[in-house]
Structure 1
């Protein structure tokens, strides 16, 4: 369970500059959230598998929200539903420290709002590790869901977040630190939004 929570945290990192006290606090919050899955998550998966019977025997994917606060989690869920957010970024260092595998193409996740209501199902279509200073404007725009100064906004938000990750380890972010970049497609949305 802890491994899954860490993976979700890494996948669902926000594009705004909020400070996270510690990775452990975030993981604990994710684990606690898993114990109280909203019925809408199960309902969404059942609706998806009813319309796509080839997946009826698959386990229900993990569910989580982007970021660590209500306003951003809800905003980012809306960007996924609208099709503007099509990527997520994590810090390679976090995967290495947690000793977990990088995400894989084909993995599905159920995206919720902050209160746990299912909003969309996404499927990872591509994963790559890219140095921070090599992130492109095109990638930044689909990660943060805007075309208005996307690279500038992406760099600021992710530099701040990644800096907060390094605080407990006495490390500092660098321009060439590796970022795990995940491209995804939204394959199912909650039509009751």
Structure 2
């Protein structure tokens, strides 16, 4: 998931300044933020991993997975985390060209990630179950439904959302999206949801 995290980070960079201002407005004080986190990571991330390891001692020697959220804004990040918790979102997508541009390894089957909300609070532990590289114009309805978390026009929604998202990022690098651009399609399963 390190690779996915880096790619998502690169995408988030484009909105970094806007998010920083928004985050500063939403924080009551720096002191509260420091109290809630350990090494800049929300304590809920450590707590979730500890709960998981306690119930699955075979992972006690494994490093805590990286934590991150989906998308690049609060509404979408929180909505996608909720869809993941409900078992509707089971996939994520990134551009192969970005992995290559930033010399990041592709995601691997079996890699775990602690999915957070936009504020970094742990929502679930997910594990990659399949990784494929597919041209944009060959994405299936089945995959789109898994990524979008909906069965209402999933392919149309996937294409519109991802074309717009990829286009905005590629434009910053002087590039244009194409129907043949390769998409890294990561399927995952939720292996540990947050306690309700």
What TM-score, normalized by structure 1, do the two folds share?
A: 0.85
Q: Match for 1:46 among 37, 40, 50? A: 50
Instruction: Report which structure shows greater RCO (CA 8 Å, sep ≥6).
Output: 1
C-alpha deviations, 1:129-171, integer Å up to 9, x for none? Answer: 0000000000000001000000000000000011112112211
- Establish whether residue 161 from structure 1 lines up as the match of residue 161 from structure 2: no
Structure 1 range deviating more: 63-72 or 149-158: 63-72
Contact 1:112 1:118 in 2 (8 A): yes
Q: Distance in 1 between matches of 2:13 and 2:111?
A: 29
Match of 1:16 in 2: none
Match of 1:92 in 2: 96
Q: Distance in 2 between matches of 1:103 and 1:80?
A: 18
Match of 1:172 in 2: 176
Question: Residue 155 and residue 11 in structure 1: after superposition, are their counterparts in 2 closer, same or farther (change >3 A)?
Answer: same
Give the 3-state SS of the residue equivalent to 1:154 in structure 2: helix
Q: Match for 2:124 among 116, 120, 123? A: 120
Q: Distance in 1 between matches of 2:9 and 2:134?
A: 17
RMSD of aligned Cα (Å): 2.6
Q: Match for 2:112 among 108, 112, 121? A: 108
Q: Distance in 2 between matches of 1:91 and 1:191?
A: 33
Aligned residues: 179
Match of 2:4 in 1: 7
- Cα distance, 1:10 vs. partner? 3.3
Greater Rg over alpha carbons, structure: 2
Give the 3-state SS of the residue equivalent to 1:180 in structure 2: strand
Instruction: Show structure 1 runs of 5+ residues with no match.
Output: 14-18
Q: Distance in 2 between matches of 1:91 and 1:147?
A: 23
Runs of 4 or more above 6 Å deviation:
none
Match of 1:22 in 2: 14
